[in-house]
A and B are shown apart, each in its own frame.
Chain A
Amino acid sequence: MGSLLEVRGLEVRYGNIEAVRGLSFAVEEGSIVAVIGANGAGKSSTLLALSGLVRASGGSITFRGREIAALRADLIVRAGLAQVPEGRAILAPLSVAENLELGAWTRRDAVATAADLERVYAVFPALADRRSRLAGSLSGGEQQMLAIGRALMASPRLLLLDEPSMGLAPKLVSAIFGTLADIRRTGTTILLVEQNARQALRLADRGLVLSHGSLFKTGPSAELLADPAIVEAFLGKA
């Protein structure tokens, strides 16, 4: 008990390629955890397994005390775990408002949903101004905001983000990270995969460093940021 999410011995396999091999970690309620590591280390595969978009081939995933490794992806969303996918995956031919409404697809509580919509518009005023525009016509940064907003519309207890800073101008990267800090303040727990490792660790409470599909190191992010081995291997020059 205690942890919001507990992963034990997670394995993900594509054919005979092992992307994740026996990964175990926990995410405490109300925290931000950053997952870093090289390309192909299994970061995205881990997130996909958590949200049920890829079946775990082994191990257990316990979310709010409930085993979800074999649960259907839509039921996982309903259980309170929503993902902001890599590359945003917004629904380009639909309007901003429609994208957000679809984020709340699994919910039946109309009043709370409407309140959440206002909350998303408050967090991202740019989206409020463009609510009837087609999502495909937004700039990259706005699309990323939309993808995050859409995930928030599911009212998740745990928000998974796969490289939210990818393809964003430096100014926007800071803005998005600032927003994530705001979202945590409202009580949503965040699990974040980032290549922008330094900035992600500065935001996070803890970091998970993956290498070749298993856990290379974990600890409070301040410690990781100060660890010469991590700096050398993953962070590069300051």
Chain B
Amino acid sequence: MSGARPMARRAASEGPKWPWIAAFLIVAADAYLCACDPRDLDRLLINSMLALSAFATLHVRMLSLASAGFAAVGAYTSAILAAKLGWPVYASIPAAALACGAVAMVIGLPVLRLKDVYLAICTLGFGEVVRVSIILLPGLTGGSTGANLSTGFGYETMKQTRTWALAPTLAVLCYLFWSASKSRTGRALRAIRENPEAAEAMGIDVVAGRNFAFLASALIAGLAGAFYAHSVGSLENGDFRFSRAVDILGYAVLGGSGAWFGPVLGAGFLTALPILIRDGLGSSLGFLKGFAQLPNILSGLALMLVIILAPGGLASAFPRLPERGRPEGRRRQARGPRPEGAAAAPSSAAGPKGKVLLSLKGLGRSFGGVEALADLSFDMEEGVTYGLIGPNGAGKTTLINLVSGFIPPSHGKIEWLGREIQGLGACRAARAGIARTYQDIRLFAEMSVLENVVAGRHIRLRSSLPAAWLRLPSERREEADAREESMDLLDRLGLSGLADREAGKLSYGDRRRVEIARALALEPRLLMLDEPAAGMNERETAALGDFIVDLKRQGVALLMVEHHMDLIMDVCDEIVVLDFGRKIAQGAPAEVARDEAVLEAYLGRD
């Protein structure tokens, strides 16, 4: 399909050859079909559009089967507007898409709370509601007998208007997907796909992202449905039945949900295959004609084969092009001297050192009757490094989860710069300047190291999606700067050599460092590190300690949970000790190390 061609030229020399051959065969087969019968071109383009609709939701791991339902709404809306109300065809098509958008907003409210297979079943229900509604409104839709646009709907006036806009519309959609995939928004959506929780911690609004994906899916399905109505000239409610919803999902799954050109390839493959098999059998093996379902069986088998060979979809088999860390011709010096470590320093003036950033007041949290944390109060000041220690299960990670907004407290208050922030959620906490890492490392595993860090800069970047679509110079520049700043951050953590590597495939300690770099990319005023030195040897731990001291000098407040006592003693200014959810000691490292209760509960006596 159109989408695969530019990619083919750019990287054909690397990686396996077979995806390119497969893509070429699919394009060739589709070209052959369209040359034989122009009606197949319409079918192909519409299926590709529907595949993009399914891709929009699948890309953020939402298993929605609503595309067929939206296509039905789009088709009937456009047909009614054009044939019954006399609208111009080209006004009826966008109007139909907008109608779908409106429907999506209404049903999205309750439906999008659901996940996985529940979402699938619920959206399938939506498709059935649409289909049955069409039958129950015969005056408007033609009911179960269908709508013949040439009689009741004035098909004759619409027939000529069908194709010229279809191909350009699909091309524009492909362009929008392609340019979005390289933008701040596209990166945020990939982050949601890879790890919604970590995305929240970057200040990415996961709910808004999913709503946007659902809305985009509905608009595109509506467009496809409207084009379908005018292309075919008649509608039956069976056009958008259950199996159609599954077909559409099949295009996107076969093509792959990772890259936008996948579903277009998938649609090209699954559209051409049954026709080619049918024609091939029809001419060469006439005696098999009795088996009317044979082409369907064969194309089903072919679908299974492709999915087994390329489990991530066709798109996943193509080698990925690494993002360029340092764009050619751009040097940091060109922008003048940079303040030392600006990437990690607070964006605004830090204010006097010693200012209270965070104040915990009687904070507590219980899980099913077990008090994980009880009545905890202390203040955290700018530029101070706090160590949080205690036995496993003492409530250390619970505290980080509370402050970063992942869970609400059962009682007590969390004040950030004097304002209460408890219960506001992780996204708001991140936007306020609170960053964290995870004990069990949550990277965007299938994204590159550099992309992970750039995703961490999400809230510091401003460019909107339209700016990316228009490829405004300001957006290009912001992206290039973000990559360069992220490379600087990777440099400082000794990771620049790994920038293009897939984050999930790094060794444990390297993944930890990438996570720290990603958290710092947010330019936090408070950074909470949950066991940053786990999986690092003494030498690497010492290097991490130097790095943390460096951060402290820049005014970042740090809260570090760690069991490497050397590290805690070396870098922390103040230590808080928890045991069974309660604070048992707080003070300077030397004091705490001598504290009887701490020795008893945590350090042990040698």
A residues sitting closer than 8 Å to B (CB atoms) are: 14-15, 17, 36-41, 44, 86-87, 138-142, 163, 166-174, 195, 197-198, 233-237
Q: Which one of A37, A40, A142 contacts B392 once the chains associate, using CB atoms below 8 Å?
A: A142
Residues of chain B from 504 to 537 with CB closer than 8 A to chain A in the complex: 505-510, 531, 534-537
Q: Which residues of B contact A14 (CB under 8 A)?
A: 505
B538→A170 contact, CB < 8 A: no
Q: Which one of B505, B509, B531, B542 contacts A167 once the chains associate, using CB atoms below 8 Å?
A: B531
Chain B CB within 10 Å, residue with most, of A17, A174, A195: A195
Residue of B whose beta carbon sits closest to that of A169: B391
Q: Which residues of A contact B537 (CB under 8 A)?
A: 36-39, 195, 197, 234-236
Q: Which residues of B contact A169 (CB under 8 A)?
A: 389-392, 563, 602
Known: A86-B508, A235-B538. 10 other contacts (CB 8 A): A14-B505, A37-B537, A39-B508, A40-B509, A138-B393, A167-B439, A172-B391, A198-B538, A235-B537, A236-B537
Q: Which one of B391, B440, B540 contacts A171 once the chains associate, using CB atoms below 8 Å?
A: B391
Residue of A whose beta carbon sits closest to that of B606: A174
Residue of A whose beta carbon sits closest to that of B601: A171
Complexed CA–CA distance, A166 and B359 (Å): 31
> A44-B507, A44-B508, A197-B537 are contacts. A170–B392 as well, Cβ < 8 Å?
no
Q: Can you name 19 A-B pairs with beta carbons within 8 Å?
A: A38-B539, A39-B509, A39-B535, A44-B507, A44-B508, A139-B392, A163-B508, A167-B392, A167-B531, A167-B563, A169-B391, A170-B602, A195-B509, A197-B538, A198-B538, A234-B539, A235-B537, A235-B538, A237-B538
A170→B507 contact, CB < 8 A: no
B565→A163 contact, CB < 8 A: no
Complexed CA–CA distance, A15 and B502 (Å): 11
Chain A CB within 10 Å, residue with most, of B439, B535, B537, B541: B537
What's the dominant secondary structure at chain B's contact region?
A: loop
Binary contact track B427-453/A, C-beta < 8 Å → 1, others 0: 000000000000110000000000000
Q: Which residues of A contact B506 (CB under 8 A)?
A: 40
Let me know if B604 is at the binding interface, CB within 8 A. yes
Complexed CA–CA distance, A170 and B569 (Å): 13
B604→A170 contact, CB < 8 A: yes
Residues of chain B from 489 to 508 with CB closer than 8 A to chain A in the complex: 501, 505-508
Let me know if B167 is at the binding interface, CB within 8 A. no
Residue of A whose beta carbon sits closest to that of B397: A140
Residue of A whose beta carbon sits closest to that of B602: A169
B535→A195 contact, CB < 8 A: yes
Q: Which residues of A contact B439 (CB under 8 A)?
A: 167
Residue of A whose beta carbon sits closest to that of B530: A167
Q: How far is the CB of B449 from chain A (nearest CB, A)?
A: 13
B residues sitting closer than 8 Å to A (CB atoms) are: 389-393, 439-440, 501, 505-510, 531, 534-542, 563, 565, 602-604
B392→A141 contact, CB < 8 A: yes
Q: Which residues of A contact B565 (CB under 8 A)?
A: 170
Residue of B whose beta carbon sits closest to that of A175: B604
Q: Which residues of A contact B603 (CB under 8 A)?
A: 170-171
Complexed CA–CA distance, A61 and B470 (Å): 57
A39→B392 contact, CB < 8 A: no
Complexed CA–CA distance, A103 and B57 (Å): 39
B539→A233 contact, CB < 8 A: yes
Complexed CA–CA distance, A14 and B504 (Å): 12
Q: Which one of A36, A139, A198 contacts B393 once the chains associate, using CB atoms below 8 Å?
A: A139
Residue of A whose beta carbon sits closest to that of B390: A169
Q: How far is the CB of A170 from chain B (nearest CB, A)?
A: 6
> A87-B440, A141-B392, A170-B604 are contacts. A236–B541 as well, Cβ < 8 Å?
yes
Q: Which residues of B contact A39 (CB under 8 A)?
A: 507-510, 535-537, 540
Q: How far is the CB of A168 from chain B (nearest CB, A)?
A: 6
Q: How far is the CB of B576 from chain A (nearest CB, A)?
A: 15
Q: How far is the CB of B139 from chain A (nearest CB, A)?
A: 54
A40→B507 contact, CB < 8 A: yes
Residue of B whose beta carbon sits closest to that of A231: B538
Residue of B whose beta carbon sits closest to that of A88: B440
Residue of B whose beta carbon sits closest to that of A238: B538
Q: How far is the CB of A178 from chain B (nearest CB, A)?
A: 12
A40→B510 contact, CB < 8 A: yes
B602→A171 contact, CB < 8 A: yes
Q: Which residues of B contact A138 (CB under 8 A)?
A: 393
A168→B563 contact, CB < 8 A: yes
Q: How far is the CB of B442 from chain A (nearest CB, A)?
A: 12
Q: Which residues of A contact B534 (CB under 8 A)?
A: 166-167
Complexed CA–CA distance, A38 and B540 (Å): 8
Residue of A whose beta carbon sits closest to that of B513: A39
Q: How far is the CB of A162 from chain B (nearest CB, A)?
A: 9
Q: How far is the CB of A22 from chain B (nearest CB, A)?
A: 19
Q: Which residues of B contact A17 (CB under 8 A)?
A: 501, 505
Q: How far is the CB of B132 from chain A (nearest CB, A)?
A: 39
Q: Which residues of A contact B440 (CB under 8 A)?
A: 87
Q: How far is the CB of B595 from chain A (nearest CB, A)?
A: 15
Q: Which residues of A contact B535 (CB under 8 A)?
A: 39, 86, 163, 166, 195
Residue of A whose beta carbon sits closest to that of B604: A171
Complexed CA–CA distance, A38 and B440 (Å): 20
Chain B CB within 10 Å, residue with most, of A39, A138, A141, A235: A39
Complexed CA–CA distance, A80 and B78 (Å): 68
Q: Which residues of A contact B536 (CB under 8 A)?
A: 39, 195
> A139-B391, A142-B392 are contacts. A236–B508 as well, Cβ < 8 Å?
no
Complexed CA–CA distance, A174 and B392 (Å): 14
Complexed CA–CA distance, A169 and B389 (Å): 8
Residue of B whose beta carbon sits closest to that of A171: B604
Complexed CA–CA distance, A67 and B202 (Å): 48
Residue of B whose beta carbon sits closest to that of A198: B538
> A140-B392, A167-B534, A168-B392 are contacts. A173–B539 as well, Cβ < 8 Å?
no
Complexed CA–CA distance, A37 and B538 (Å): 10
7 tightest Cβ-Cβ pairs between the two chains A and B? A139-B393, A236-B538, A39-B509, A140-B392, A171-B604, A139-B392, A40-B507
Q: How far is the CB of B477 from chain A (nearest CB, A)?
A: 33
Complexed CA–CA distance, A172 and B539 (Å): 22
Q: Which residues of B contact A195 (CB under 8 A)?
A: 509, 535-538, 540
Complexed CA–CA distance, A169 and B535 (Å): 14
Complexed CA–CA distance, A145 and B506 (Å): 26
